[in-house]
């Protein structure tokens, strides 16, 4: 399978989804991006804008086994994961799998369940397994969770904990359709004489797994990887945030930008891929300062501000294959000390060993050399009791 095949399959899937979801192609492209990146999706919008319909449509068009859980305050973890029950004439204990044992699980109004029930999804979303009655059971593959919540209703809801929000690859809203699209929506409903639109499966579960594996082959150069880290670090340093995105946010940005590049038929990630996916990947991972929240500042505004301020690397051409990344610190202390270049008097200390790959935007030395030019201490995980740092001769008297 080539990257052109990924482009063809994803386009066919989006076109089929548009038979049921009118006028929301950018949202559908984002959801298919998360599907190919093997990530979970949080849809946050007002009632009636097709959040549930989108989840069901994705399952039908992608040929995935679908399960829906309506989250309510009285829902318990066993209602999601399953439980051991007595079955048969002899009353033999038997585990009855819950709805989480499906390929695509819709958690409808996910913020209406109490934290104990919401936590039942944490292991499933991160590790693709469920532990019940002291037995760990793997979930089917592919496994995707689509959560929905209504942001305007606060009564009887439990805000999702940060740990669970961080496990969603993307968060997005849907919005109202434009006037012409809403007219088309009404005419389609009048013509088919049924509420639901039944979609034809254009993929299978195995096709989705093959596409996900192909996405993993998309190349990301070191400058683009550094750009991802620069964006995430900027969320932590921003005066508007109390806590920025975690390293899981960096990995999410990597996965989503790879999927977006593959959907465009490319074998490499461009800086534009990272920019386009930054808001849905990072905005829900920020914790804003209280004064920003009072002023009505939204996390997506903060991400857009950061994207406009952080310098992006030059465009990566298809034939541009930078040097393979090497852990320079580990290589240095395994191969033995090397002679560092003599420092220029008055110059700012830099890394004793030049970074591969050329241009690295905003890079700071990971393991700087000492001011006198001698090699720095090795990483802590490579230090041993036998290690003796180089001795600097005393200055002449």
Among 356, 354, 357, which residue's Cα sits nearest to residue 367? Answer: 354
The DSSP bridge pattern shows strands 241-243 and 287-288 to be antiparallel
pLDDT at residue 333 greater than cutoff 70: no
Averaged pLDDT for residues 117-133 = 86
User: pLDDT class for 338, splitting at 50, 70, 90?
Assistant: very low
pLDDT digits (tens, 9 = 90+) for 212-241: 999 999 999 999 999 999 999 999 998 888
pLDDT digits (tens, 9 = 90+) for 269-281: 999 999 999 999 9
User: pLDDT class for 315, splitting at 50, 70, 90?
Assistant: low
pLDDT digits (tens, 9 = 90+) for 194-216: 888 889 999 999 999 999 999 99
Find out whether 262 and 218 touch, Cβ atoms under 8 Å.
Answer: yes
> What is the secondary structure of 84-102 as a DSSP string?
EEEETTTTEEEEEE-TTSS
**Residue 290 burial (10 A CB sphere; 0-12, 13-18, 19+):** exposed
* Per-residue CA distances from 291 to 140, 152, 242 (Å): 44, 21, 10
- Residue 26 pLDDT: 94
What are residue 104's DSSP bridge partners? 66, 144
Helix/strand/coil for 44: strand
Q: Which of 46-50, 92-96, 389-393 has the lowest mean pLDDT?
A: 389-393
- Residue 30 pLDDT: 95
Structural domains for the chain: 1-217 (3.40.50.300), 219-323 (1.10.8.80)
Radius of gyration for the chain, computed over Cα atoms and rounded to the nearest angstrom: 25
pLDDT at residue 386 greater than cutoff 60: no
User: pLDDT class for 67, splitting at 50, 70, 90?
Assistant: very high
User: pLDDT class for 128, splitting at 50, 70, 90?
Assistant: very high
Find out whether 94 and 85 touch, Cβ atoms under 8 Å.
Answer: yes
Find out whether 31 and 39 touch, Cβ atoms under 8 Å.
Answer: no
Cα 24–Cα 25–Cα 30 angle in degrees, nearest 5: 105
Averaged pLDDT for residues 73-102 = 86
Find out whether 125 and 85 touch, Cβ atoms under 8 Å.
Answer: no
């Amino acid at each position: 399978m080539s990257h052109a095949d990924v482009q063809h399959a994803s386009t066919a899937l989006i076109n089929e989804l548009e038979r049921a979801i009118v006028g929301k192609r950018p949202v559908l492209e984002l959801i298919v991006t998360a599907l190919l990146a093997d990530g979970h999706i949080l849809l946050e919008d007002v009632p009636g804008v097709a959040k549930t319909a989108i989840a069901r449509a994705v399952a039908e068009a992608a040929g995935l086994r679908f399960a829906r859980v309506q989250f309510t305050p009285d829902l318990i973890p066993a209602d999601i994961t399953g439980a051991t029950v007595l079955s048969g004439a002899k009353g033999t204990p038997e585990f009855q799998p819950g709805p989480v044992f499906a390929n695509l699980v819709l958690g409808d109004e996910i913020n209406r369940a109490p934290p104990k029930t919401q936590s039942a999804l944490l292991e499933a979303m991160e590790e693709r397994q469920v532990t019940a009655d002291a037995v760990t059971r793997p979930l089917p593959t592919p496994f995707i969770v689509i959560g929905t919540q209504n942001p305007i209703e606060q009564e009887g809801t439990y805000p999702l904990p940060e740990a669970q929000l961080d496990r969603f690859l993307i968060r997005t809203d849907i919005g109202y359709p434009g006037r012409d699209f809403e007219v088309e929506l009404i005419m389609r409903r009048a013509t088919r004489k049924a509420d639901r639109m039944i979609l034809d499966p254009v993929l299978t579960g195995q096709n989705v797994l093959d596409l996900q594996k192909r996405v993993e082959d998309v190349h990301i150069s070191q400058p683009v990887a550094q750009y991802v880290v620069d964006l995430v670090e900027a969320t932590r340093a921003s005066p508007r945030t109390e806590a920025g995105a975690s390293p899981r946010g960096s990995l999410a940005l990597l996965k989503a930008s790879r999927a977006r590049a593959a959907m465009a038929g490319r074998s490499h990630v461009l800086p534009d891929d990272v920019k386009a996916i930054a808001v849905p990947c990072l905005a829900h991972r920020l914790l804003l300062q209280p004064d920003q929240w009072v002023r009505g500042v939204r996390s997506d505004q903060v991400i857009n501000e950061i994207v406009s301020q952080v310098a992006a690397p030059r465009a990566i051409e298809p034939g541009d294959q930078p040097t393979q990344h090497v852990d320079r610190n580990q290589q240095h202390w395994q191969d033995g000390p090397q002679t560092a270049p003599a420092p220029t008097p008055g110059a700012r200390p830099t890394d004793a060993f030049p970074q591969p790959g050329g241009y690295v935007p905003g890079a700071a030395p990971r393991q700087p050399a000492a001011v006198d030019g001698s090699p720095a201490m090795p990483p802590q995980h490579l230090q041993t009791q036998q290690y003796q740092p180089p001795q600097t001769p005393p200055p002449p008297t």
